[in-house]
Structure 1
């Protein structure tokens, strides 16, 4: 890698799981507006549901999710009462004929739930919504939580995709991030869910962790490959201690520098591709027959708050504290604090506290940024067909940027704009060129590699 390019294009940039990004959400989107948006969904709309379980029995120091540690189950029991009430309130506002095509449980650690609560929560969803018979049901799993009864409960709810966070199997790295999880534990989870008929397993691996080396990451990747997962996410650790105070437990001096991070990313990617996985966007890999790889090849890959997806639903509805939804009209986020979330639900059923309504320019730029993040470029004709005259501004910006970029990371011609092979690792930085909100000074972001 050209070190000049690396240093130039690895400044802070959003991950672009939405546009506009979450720091630009505001209180102008409240429960009343959210309720109206839900009611305006088409009768034949397809819906993806996200349920947030904001509890863990240990706090991983690398984590940037909205979660809290608890060793008692009482807070979870109370929280589930509110979550079920929100499910009922949302379902009452959504057209009855709308169909749920995907359900994702995230956290936190959804696998902290007792088996009977897992089944009860899914029963609540099935009673509230019309769920497609082939809906994808995915759950984020912590191997330290799981036992035979929970595996059976996951099978009972219809689990189709198991999502395992691994990070790194090296003991020194695990100690530094407070995430002790052996390879044997992880392998037992994969074997247990597959024995119960789960067809798809994905694993998350992190690079850029404290005390992580090229050698330790290589060993972790080899261990992951031995599990034969269908998808692998290779994320760069986002060190944001100004936003997540527990990350101050990780000393800056223990973190790899940008050159080491890039070398780790490049080596892990090389190993995965050599084993037959296809690269998906900037940080995912999938077997060629996996739906994510098919979507990438056919130009239907999407990007949302869960990262890369083949989910083509008309709306993503987030439920639970801090969860974010994406509807045709815009984005909406629930109250992050669990206590305030519960009180809001008790008072009115919904807990939306901020969001943003999309302008035509927002929709245009959201499309451009999503295509850069998914396809490393975008087509001018398609943009003009879908957005009309307002597309000309972005077409002009793309041409201007490409003409004046002397580093060879992108090209533009009469047909479109695309990143070169040298530019693909810097997709986040290039996408930021089309972000009209970024220079407002709102929000701080992790480095772009």
Structure 2
């Protein structure tokens, strides 16, 4: 890869897990709008539920999630009371409209919950929502939290998929990010969920970490592959200390530069693909029989706040502090501050404090950006078929993009605009050409490589 291109396109742009992106949400959308939007849903509407547990028993310095460290369980117990109240409020507002096809427990560390509380969460959700028989139940898991009782509780909840962070197995790297987790711990966790019938295991890796080298990423990738996970996520570390103050604990002088990041990402990806995995989007890999690989091949893969997914639900319902939801009308986000969230939820109110009502233009641009991020291409015919003549100005934009590209990143092929193999690593920068809001407001983003 030409270093000139890496330098040119390694700019700060969104990861495009939504469009418009979260920095453009505003307080003109609130609880009353959300309640109205829920009441307008058709019956039935398929829904994916996301539960946010914003607590960890240790704070990883690389993490950009909304979470906080706690040393006692009492704040978690108080939070769960508020979460149960919000589940009841949203369940009442949505009445019988929703059929749940997926549930995702994220954080933070949802696996720090006591086993009895894990079961209480599952029971509260099933009391208020109708679950389909084939609903996928996914849990973000920290192997350091786990014991037999927690594994058994998650199995009783119906867990079908789990995701575990690996980051890097090198001890020096782990100490630099405050995330010590041995290969043996990870292997034991993978074995424990598989013996309980979990169908899909995902392992997360990071490149661009402090003290990380080609040697450490090579060794870590080899160990991850030895566990034969169904999916592998290979994320670039997003250094955003202006957003997440705990990232100031990381020595910036120890971070790889943009060229070293590119080499690390390339080495790991080559090893994963050589071991039989299908590349999926910008940072995921899946075994050929996995549903994510199949969706990537047949063009049905989607992208949302949980990353790449096969979930085709018509609504995403976010529950918990800072949780984001998406309904046909637009985005909603809950109060991020846990104390204020608890007050709102326990009062019987919806906890929504900001959001974004989608326009027709937003939906067209969102469609193009999602297809680029998922398929590295989009069809002019499909765009017109879905949105009609109103989409023609976006076709003009696509033609201009192809016409002015001097770096061989995107081409026109029949009725499709296709990102070239060389352009795929820069897909976030390419998608940004269709972002009408980029540069507006004060939002800052991580680099695109």
For residues 330-360 of structure 1, what are the alpha-carbon distances to aligned partners after superposition, in whole Å with 9 as ceiling and x for unaligned?
A: 1110000100000111223310000100000
TM-superposed CA distance for 1:197, in Å, is: 1.1
**SS of residue paired to 2:87:** helix
Partner of 1:334 in structure 2? 334
What is the TM-score of this pair, normalised by structure 2? 0.99
Moved more, 76-85 or 95-104: 95-104
Distance 2:442 2:317 in 1: 25
TM-superposed CA distance for 1:390, in Å, is: 1.6
Distance 1:140 1:407 in 2: 39
For residues 58-112 of structure 1, what are the alpha-carbon distances to aligned partners after superposition, in whole Å with 9 as ceiling and x for unaligned?
A: 1000000000000100001000000011011111111414210000000000000
For residues 121-172 of structure 1, what are the alpha-carbon distances to aligned partners after superposition, in whole Å with 9 as ceiling and x for unaligned?
A: 1000111100011100010011111101101101110000011011011000
Partner of 1:64 in structure 2? 64
Partner of 1:274 in structure 2? 274
TM-superposed CA distance for 1:4, in Å, is: 1.1
Distance 1:39 1:296 in 2: 33
TM-superposed CA distance for 1:276, in Å, is: 0.5
TM-superposed CA distance for 1:306, in Å, is: 0.4
TM-superposed CA distance for 1:412, in Å, is: 2.2
**SS of residue paired to 2:288:** coil
Distance 1:408 1:52 in 2: 41
Partner of 1:186 in structure 2? 186
Q: Which runs of 4+ in 1 moved over 6 A?
A: none
Checking the alignment, whether the CA contact within 8 Å between 2:24 and 2:441 is kept in structure 1 is no
For residues 28-73 of structure 1, what are the alpha-carbon distances to aligned partners after superposition, in whole Å with 9 as ceiling and x for unaligned?
A: 1100000111111110210000000000001000000000000100
Partner of 2:12 in structure 1? 12
Matched, 1:2 2:7: no
**SS of residue paired to 1:344:** helix
Matched, 1:301 2:324: no
Partner of 2:222 in structure 1? 222
**SS of residue paired to 2:436:** coil
Distance 1:162 1:405 in 2: 41
Distance 1:98 1:76 in 2: 28
Checking the alignment, whether the CA contact within 8 Å between 1:281 and 1:373 is kept in structure 2 is yes
Cα distance change of structure 1 residues 26 and 441 upon mapping to structure 2, 3 Å threshold:
closer
Alignment of 1:394-409 (within 5 A): 394-409=394-409
TM-superposed CA distance for 1:282, in Å, is: 0.3
Matched, 1:209 2:209: yes
**SS of residue paired to 2:96:** coil
Partner of 2:419 in structure 1? 419
Distance 1:291 1:143 in 2: 24
For residues 339-386 of structure 1, what are the alpha-carbon distances to aligned partners after superposition, in whole Å with 9 as ceiling and x for unaligned?
A: 000011122331000010000000000000000000011100110011
Checking the alignment, whether the CA contact within 8 Å between 2:170 and 2:220 is kept in structure 1 is yes
Alignment of 1:232-247 (within 5 A): 232-247=232-247
Partner of 1:381 in structure 2? 381
Provide structure 1 residue ranges, at least 5 long, that are not aligned to the other structure.
Answer: none
Checking the alignment, whether the CA contact within 8 Å between 1:241 and 1:248 is kept in structure 2 is yes
Checking the alignment, whether the CA contact within 8 Å between 2:85 and 2:348 is kept in structure 1 is no
Distance 1:253 1:112 in 2: 33
Partner of 2:432 in structure 1? 432
Kindly tell me the number of residue pairs found equivalent between the two proteins. Answer: 449
RMSD of aligned residue pairs (Cα, Å): 0.8
For residues 388-431 of structure 1, what are the alpha-carbon distances to aligned partners after superposition, in whole Å with 9 as ceiling and x for unaligned?
A: 11211110001001101111111125512111111011000000
Partner of 2:137 in structure 1? 137
Partner of 2:91 in structure 1? 91
**SS of residue paired to 1:247:** helix
What is the TM-score of this pair, normalised by structure 1? 0.99
